[in-house]
Amino acid sequence: MSHPRILAFVLAGGRGKRLFPLTSFRSKPAVPFGGRYRIVDFVLSNLVNSRIYSIYLLVQYQSQSLIEHIRQNWVLSPVLRDHFITVVPPQMRTGPEWFEGTADAVFQNINLIREFDPELVVVFGADHIYRMDIRQMIDFHLTNDAEVTVAARPVPIEEASSFGVIVSDSEYRIVSFQEKPRQPASMYGDPNRAYVSMGNYIFNRKGLEDALARAERKKQNDFGSHVLPDMIDTGKIFAYDFSANVMPGTTPYEEKAYWRDVGTIPAFFSANMDILGSSPNFEINNVNWPIHPTRYEGPSARIWRADIKNSVLAEGVFIEKARIVNSIIRCGVTIESGVSVEDCIIMDGTVLKKGCKLKRVIVDKMNVIEEDERIGFDTEADRFRCHIDSSGIAIVPRGGRAKKKHHVKE
């Protein structure tokens, strides 16, 4: 099926409060993930792999790290005019306010839509870990002559109360929305599951402009809460079943239609662990649909002697003599002799000195963990030197130095 002219907006302004302290100095989409990625790399890879090359990235909170990441790693062909990923901070064209919501973010940049003159506008979030062939969703949108298509993910009915629920008929036409309902409506023909919104949308350009203008007059600013419910009466708003998206290169052992909102520390930690193992829930190495990683200019990994099991090691890692189990070690990490790392995420440029032991810990970038330090074994002791999430996971914030606790006389 031939496709019309497409413009994409990626909403990458999320503050990510629930990911604190990983979001102390960066926005949620800029948080490192896996061995060589950042969260934003997943939506950008899905767009580029789907041959959507005209992309505006709307940023807001703590955006410098994200801006630098895009500048260094996401330069498309400057020869082709419509191949670009451009970072757009709040322009404040309608007043001094920052983006007040998802719809307001696009409304404040409606001039970009008019200048590009697309037929379709793709609006996706930047906060999730998944693979998706967006062209299949576009085909669905065109086949149904839709004004709006919303990506929908089937989940067990008992889990749906945590999400925005979509109610659709037998033809996938959306008839209502439920925002985190106590008693979610089930999918048509399946009483055990419900459709939940993924926060990814395809709009016809004219319908989007009209809907944003109505929302602005009503002082409404969110797609999920305001714009989409207001468009239901058109009868042309449809749900695209994400589980029907056929992804080339998917292995039999992967979780079908894998998608994770990594908005909390436990969810972030769990999603990182999902890429480990001989049969991971999410196979990060798919040559048919690559997630494009951060470029690293440095030496190869060097391992002198180590006991390593079920772990990911990135470039520039140096391991002298250590034990590493069920862990992700990012670029440029140094691990000295006698170190034990189990169920951990160790981010770029960190040094783990001799004899230190870590279990179920996230160490943010550019840290030094001192000799014989122990983190993850005594929650009360860890509170003096780390952030302890309610899940019990210890996080050493970026650039901090986890040191031995000094003995102080009572």
Q: Which residues are annotated binding-site positions for alpha-D-glucose 1-phosphate? A: 164, 179-180, 197
Residue 14, CA atoms < 13 Å, CB-side half-sphere: 26
Residue 29 CB coordination number (10 Å): 30
β-sheet bridge partners, residue 87: 57
The answer to whether the CB of 320 falls within 8 A of the CB of 304 is: yes
The answer to whether the CB of 126 falls within 8 A of the CB of 47 is: no
Provide the 8-state DSSP code for 234. Answer: G
Pairing of strands 361-363, 394-396: parallel
| Encoded tokens for 196 | 């939940």
CA 258/CA 289 separation, integer angstroms = 14
What is the number of residues in the chain? 410
- The label of the residue with tokens 């049969």 reads 279
CA 91/CA 117 separation, integer angstroms = 20
Pairing of strands 54-58, 259-261: unpaired
Nearest Cα neighbor of 362 from 269, 277, 261, 279 is 269
- Residue 383's SS3 state is coil
CA 127/CA 146 separation, integer angstroms = 26
CA 260/CA 332 separation, integer angstroms = 27
- In 204-214, which positions are buried (b, 16+ CB within 10 angstroms) versus exposed (e)? bbebbbebbee
Q: Tell me the chain's radius of gyration from C-alpha atoms.
A: 23
Binding-site members are: 164, 179-180, 197
Q: At what angle do helices 64-73 and 40-49 cross, to 10 degrees?
A: 40
